[in-house]
Amino acid sequence: MQQPELIPHLFRTEFTKITAVLCKHFGIAHIQLAEDIASETFLRAMETWTYKGIPENPTAWLYVVAKNKAKNYFARAHMFQEKIAPELKQLTTAPSTEIDLSDKNITDSQLQMLFAICHPAISTEAQIGLALRILCGFGIDEIANAFLTNKETINKRLFRAREKLRAEKVQISIPDAVAIQEHLDTVLTTLYLLYNEGYYSESQDSIIREELCLEAMRLTRLLLDHDITNTPAVNALLALMCFQASRFPARKNEHGELILYQDQDPALWNQELIAQGAWYLHAASQGNTLTRYHMEATIAWWHTIKEDSSEKWENILQLYNQLLQLQYSPVAALNRTYALSKARGKAAAIAEAEKLGLTDNPYYYALLGELYQGIDNRQALQHLQTAQHLFKTQTEKQTIQRKINHLPTT
């Protein structure tokens, strides 16, 4: 791999490791400093490798530079001298306090940072933003793109989040066995929303969109590597992610337009991811706890069945009924209505859909447009036009336009 491609690749993989380890070593109060040192390390790599060439072991080179920068920064930062002098003295004289960039400590640090970031003191958006920055290696521009906002907004959001974590004196550690469940629920919610930010993203950057999902899956796998966090709920969430990610190749055409489920080519579905999802779903069946992730993963599994049978859609419908009783959401309600149309017919689904009254939701009108097609094409056209107006991205508008173009005129 050549230098222009290598540095962005290493930034994505190693920035997160260096930042997590430094945060753990120096504490949450120095979270911004850890990010700065990691960034400066890659700037040094870019400057040095351009003229001297890529070192034999680029990753090891980065780790050495990061360690040295961490020591040197504190040595010359007079404003921190009183707070860190004892630690600095130990750091330069005692080998046991050396910054540990071993594989085990990197993994442990990333997992502990995940729990620290998902602290209830900061907003969900801030949790996702910090996860993208510190644990996924996303730049500020990329995060702004994912959230459809600007760099200034993201910088302010992350600054407030760091200050809040510092004020709360959040510890970078795995909660004890008593507190783990409450904390783990928050972490799973953040990972679930991070994945959805990619899967249902309104960003027109397909690379960012899929990388959000892949990073959410990577972080979820970190939880499975630790005995105390390898729970049925975590397995169920990863199963859901695998099943949904398996259909990525079939979700867009050559023009980048979204292909709806019923129009996808099952031959493009990733069978390896489907098999992985089935394995994790089986692992999730242990114990007596039933979560929304279990329900959604099972629904997603049924969607990997190619046959469009009444049995398939009746099972999906009943699962949505249980899911909505467990935890209501407008997205689940809309998806249930589509399953109802496949299991019981469009007339029954229209009656149920119109009860939802989600008049500010473009997917609501897109569904009604689908349901009315062949029953009242004039109504179908009106609903599709409303959906097209409400959708924000050009890709979604084009998807609706394609449906309008294929709508019978009578």
Distance CA 408, CA 373 (A): 8
Question: What is the model's pLDDT at position 100?
Answer: 87
Q: Are residues 259 and 173 in the same domain?
A: no
Confidence of residue 94 (pLDDT cuts 50, 70, 90): very low
Q: Write down which residue in 174, 201, 227 finishes a domain.
A: 227
Q: Are residues 198 and 114 in the same domain?
A: yes
Confidence of residue 76 (pLDDT cuts 50, 70, 90): low
The reply to whether 334 falls in a domain is no
Q: Are residues 201 and 259 in the same domain?
A: no
The better pLDDT of the pair 203, 36 is held by: 36
Is the Cβ–Cβ distance between 28 and 171 less than 8 Å? Answer: yes
The pLDDT tens digits for 100-113 are 888 889 999 999 99
Distance CA 59, CA 13 (A): 10
Q: What mean pLDDT comes out for the span 287-312?
A: 93
The pLDDT of residue 79 is above 60 = no
Is the Cβ–Cβ distance between 359 and 390 less than 8 Å? Answer: no
Question: What is the model's pLDDT at position 210?
Answer: 85
What is the number of residues in the chain?
A: 410
The pLDDT tens digits for 197-246 are 888 766 666 655 788 899 999 999 999 998 889 999 999 999 999 999 99
The reply to whether 266 falls in a domain is yes
- DSSP 8-state assignment for residue 95: G
Q: In terms of residue numbers, what domain contains 376? A: 357-410
Q: Are residues 175 and 220 in the same domain?
A: yes
Q: Write down which residue in 63, 83, 101 finishes a domain.
A: 101
Question: What is the model's pLDDT at position 198?
Answer: 83
> Domain count of the chain?
4
Q: Write down which residue in 38, 72, 101 finishes a domain.
A: 101
The pLDDT of residue 3 is above 60 = no
Q: Are residues 241 and 277 in the same domain?
A: yes
* Residue % of the chain over a pLDDT of 90: 58
Question: What is the model's pLDDT at position 308?
Answer: 87
Question: What is the model's pLDDT at position 179?
Answer: 79
Q: Are residues 198 and 123 in the same domain?
A: yes
The pLDDT of residue 98 is above 80 = no
The better pLDDT of the pair 175, 357 is held by: 357
Torsions phi, psi for 258 (to 5 deg) = -70, 135
The pLDDT tens digits for 362-407 are 999 999 999 999 999 999 999 999 999 998 878 788 889 989 998 9
Question: What is the model's pLDDT at position 91?
Answer: 46
The pLDDT tens digits for 129-164 are 999 999 988 888 888 887 878 999 999 999 999 999
